[in-house]
Homo-oligomer: A and B are copies of this chain.
Amino acid sequence: MLSRIKDLFIGPALPTQTISFKQLNKIRALASFSPDALASIAYANQEIYLGLIVAGSMGLSYALPIGLAITIVLVLVALSYYQTIQGYPSGGGSYIVARANLGVLPGLVAAAALMIDYVLNAAVSLTAGVAALASAFPLLWSYRVPLALALLLVITLVNLRGLRESGTIMAVPVYLFLATYLSMLAYGLVRLIIQGPTPVPLSAPAAIEPLTLILVLHAFSTGCTALTGIEAISNGVPAFKPPQSRNAGRTLIVMAFLMGTLFLGSIGLTQLLGVVASPQETILSALARRLLGSGFLYLLIQFTTLLILAVAANTSFMDFPRVAAILAKDGFLPRQLTGLGDRLVFTNGILALSFVAGVLIIVFNGDTHALIPLFAIGAFLAFSLSQSGMVVHWLRERGKSWLVKALTNGLGALATLTTLVVVIFSKFLEGAWITVLLIPLIVMVFQKIFNHYQQVRKQLSLKGFPPSLKPLLPTRVVIPISGIHRGMVDAVNFARSISDRVTAVYVELEPGAGEKARLEWESWWPDVPMVVVPSPYRSIVAPLLQYLEETDQQHNDGQLATVVLPEFIPGRWWQSLLHNQTAWLLKTALLYSRREHGLERVIIDVPFRLT
């Protein structure tokens, strides 16, 4: 039943050998790696607008300068990652580059930062996508949380199923997005040239805050979320067709150019056409409405925005589980994250990401604007560490024109580090503190997990263990019995087949019941002694544990008595609700009770099946 439902949604299991790697040409590679980066303009634009509108129309006039500043950072980061692609043709994720060049700790910091940003990217992209939809259909505003969660569910299921043809499926929304947006911007540019700039209308909200440097820096730092996702290509160089580094590098340049065009184009048109948005509308929606009216073309733009943002959220579902699996393989995360599931995807990583993103959407009430202050810190920290790592890399290697390369990466590191500092300070109280606090906490967890696995490895080592291993003495056996009935027969038989020192123990809940049980017992198994243990507090487990400990001490024969547990297995699941779970409770108590002497108690389950 359960497995049929699973097959319906996730599909049947796939054999390991069907794993295949397809190499992508530049057109498909752009579609695979760019959605996250391109879609960022949707929320980055919105945040710059929201950051400036509080200072009225004066504030809005700073949009284009801020957009230019961010574009400069974009160029520096893109150049820097172009170098990473040359230096790490086998895939240079921030964790790998930072770890190899700066050490384990910086590597872990980069990894923690990246993982936080993947989660936030999923949450932010989904809420921004729903905001694009709700701009077109205002009735949907009050359903933003359930809508975002529904999208999350769909993306989770699709990823659990496994995206076999990701390149092709992804290409449609990406190129649709590029085509519609670039056309719209071109049309807007023509209109701007013909009509000339429009001032901000009088209906725009009046300034409620003075236009300070802090306000401008704040708008800049929220706008820097536009750059998240730019590192994607550098992680995925092996997916390109050869010559891999060259193709990946060129694709990066094209992507950065497109990002810059879309970002500057939309922000410039918004400012120069004097577009303002009503409270329940995104600024991109307001721009599209101004240029295209509210008809089919407008709806197409909004729908395309939703689609690219959903695909952008999807990139987190590809990247997060992969980074988690790399960390798990290195022993910094639970090793369950390394296992490929039935459908050859990292099932546990996908589920973990989906859960955390869902919690974020609920806690932040589906509000992109509330999530943004947590965002981008992770990305810029990872950028800085990775670029600094590249500087060390070139200094060490000293290959062709190493100085230029090191300087380029150094410039990138400087730009991202400066941005990081601006971002942290200008958004600290709004939520950035959460991320700042989380990163060291996560790194601590990484190390704690690593230490645990190291400990386990030591304890499991057979090195120096005596090679001649003698079997244990014939064991003492104790059978806890609940009464004299058919369910005991197999257990007693099994116990007698492995030992001639078997004792039955009856826990007496009602005075007198023990004596009665003993008489009956002796008529069936006269050669197996039965002990009655009183239980004044009506517990079954505690007196049994005490009996076992006491007799073990009395015997003092270098072993603990083996417990044979007769266990009822009901025919149907609901029937287990009708039986005391004594066997289960006892097993748990026996396994998890503390031992001080290094001896372990063997537990034998003898099932008795009810029909």
Chain A interface residues toward B at CB < 8 A:
13-17, 334-336, 339-342, 449, 452-453, 455-456, 459-462, 465, 467, 469-475, 484-487, 489-490, 492-494, 496-498, 509-510, 524-525, 536-539, 567-569, 575, 577-580, 587, 591-592, 595, 600-611
How far apart sit A568 and B591, CA to CA, in the bound complex (Å)?
10
A602 touches which of B462, B470, B577, B606 (Cβ 8 Å): B606
A413 to chain B, nearest CB (A): 35
Which residues of chain B have C-beta atoms less than 8 A from A591's C-beta?
Answer: 567, 569, 605, 607
Is there an interface contact between B472 and A494, defined as CB atoms closer than 8 Å?
A: yes
Which residues of chain B have C-beta atoms less than 8 A from A537's C-beta?
Answer: 13-16, 342
Is there an interface contact between B484 and A462, defined as CB atoms closer than 8 Å?
A: yes
Which residues of chain B have C-beta atoms less than 8 A from A339's C-beta?
Answer: 538, 580
**Among the interface residues A493, A538, A539, A569, which one has the most CB atoms of the partner chain B within 10 A?**
A538
Which residues of chain B have C-beta atoms less than 8 A from A492's C-beta?
Answer: 469
In the assembled complex, 15 residue pairs joining A and B whose CB atoms fall closer than 8 Å, in A order, are: A15-B536, A16-B538, A335-B579, A336-B580, A342-B539, A452-B575, A456-B610, A462-B485, A462-B489, A467-B524, A469-B492, A469-B524, A474-B497, A595-B609, A600-B606
**Among the interface residues A449, A459, A577, which one has the most CB atoms of the partner chain B within 10 A?**
A459
Which residues of chain B have C-beta atoms less than 8 A from A471's C-beta?
Answer: 493-494, 496-497
Which residues of chain B have C-beta atoms less than 8 A from A603's C-beta?
Answer: 604-605, 607
Is there an interface contact between B485 and A497, defined as CB atoms closer than 8 Å?
A: no
Which residues of chain B have C-beta atoms less than 8 A from A610's C-beta?
Answer: 455-456, 459
A501 to chain B, nearest CB (A): 13
A460 touches which of B486, B587, B600, B606 (Cβ 8 Å): B486
A585 to chain B, nearest CB (A): 12
Instruction: Give the residue name and chain of the B residue nearest to A540 (CB).
Output: B339
A323 to chain B, nearest CB (A): 18
Is there an interface contact between A602 and B524, defined as CB atoms closer than 8 Å?
A: no
Which residues of chain B have C-beta atoms less than 8 A from A611's C-beta?
Answer: 455, 459
Is there an interface contact between B587 and A569, defined as CB atoms closer than 8 Å?
A: no
Is there an interface contact between A461 and B486, defined as CB atoms closer than 8 Å?
A: yes
A222 to chain B, nearest CB (A): 36
How far apart sit A509 and B509, CA to CA, in the bound complex (Å)?
49
Is there an interface contact between A494 and B578, defined as CB atoms closer than 8 Å?
A: no
A549 to chain B, nearest CB (A): 16
A166 to chain B, nearest CB (A): 21
A497 touches which of B335, B473, B496, B605 (Cβ 8 Å): B473
Which residues of chain B have C-beta atoms less than 8 A from A456's C-beta?
Answer: 568, 610
Which residues of chain B have C-beta atoms less than 8 A from A580's C-beta?
Answer: 335-336, 339
CB-CB under 8 A for A470 and B493, given A537-B13, A538-B340, A578-B334: yes
A194 to chain B, nearest CB (A): 57
Which residues of chain B have C-beta atoms less than 8 A from A493's C-beta?
Answer: 469-472
How far apart sit A496 and B539, CA to CA, in the bound complex (Å)?
35
A17 touches which of B336, B469, B536, B605 (Cβ 8 Å): B536
Is there an interface contact between A600 and B608, defined as CB atoms closer than 8 Å?
A: yes
Is there an interface contact between B609 and A536, defined as CB atoms closer than 8 Å?
A: no
A541 to chain B, nearest CB (A): 12
Is there an interface contact between A605 and B602, defined as CB atoms closer than 8 Å?
A: yes
How far apart sit A497 and B525, CA to CA, in the bound complex (Å)?
24
How far apart sit A484 and B460, CA to CA, in the bound complex (Å)?
9
Is there an interface contact between A578 and B335, defined as CB atoms closer than 8 Å?
A: yes
A465 touches which of B453, B486, B539, B607 (Cβ 8 Å): B486
How far apart sit A575 and B487, CA to CA, in the bound complex (Å)?
35
How far apart sit A29 and B377, CA to CA, in the bound complex (Å)?
69
Is there an interface contact between B462 and A524, defined as CB atoms closer than 8 Å?
A: yes
Is there an interface contact between B525 and A334, defined as CB atoms closer than 8 Å?
A: no
Closest 7 CB pairs of A and B: A460-B485, A471-B497, A498-B498, A15-B536, A603-B605, A471-B496, A13-B537
Known: A452-B575, A460-B486, A470-B493. 16 other contacts (CB 8 A): A15-B537, A334-B577, A449-B578, A453-B578, A462-B489, A465-B486, A469-B489, A469-B492, A469-B524, A474-B497, A600-B608, A600-B609, A601-B607, A602-B605, A602-B606, A603-B604
Is there an interface contact between A494 and B569, defined as CB atoms closer than 8 Å?
A: no
Which residues of chain B have C-beta atoms less than 8 A from A460's C-beta?
Answer: 485-487
Which residues of chain B have C-beta atoms less than 8 A from A510's C-beta?
Answer: 16
A543 to chain B, nearest CB (A): 12
How far apart sit A336 and B492, CA to CA, in the bound complex (Å)?
26
Which residues of chain B have C-beta atoms less than 8 A from A336's C-beta?
Answer: 580
Which residues of chain B have C-beta atoms less than 8 A from A494's C-beta?
Answer: 471-472, 475, 602
How far apart sit A366 and B295, CA to CA, in the bound complex (Å)?
47
A317 to chain B, nearest CB (A): 20
Is there an interface contact between B489 and A465, defined as CB atoms closer than 8 Å?
A: yes
Is there an interface contact between A600 and B490, defined as CB atoms closer than 8 Å?
A: yes
How far apart sit A473 and B17, CA to CA, in the bound complex (Å)?
42
Instruction: Give the residue name and chain of the B residue nearest to A568 (CB).
Output: B456
Instruction: Give the residue name and chain of the B residue nearest to A494 (CB).
Output: B602
A452 touches which of B15, B578, B606 (Cβ 8 Å): B578
Instruction: Give the residue name and chain of the B residue nearest to A485 (CB).
Output: B460
How far apart sit A535 and B605, CA to CA, in the bound complex (Å)?
27
A604 touches which of B17, B604, B609 (Cβ 8 Å): B604
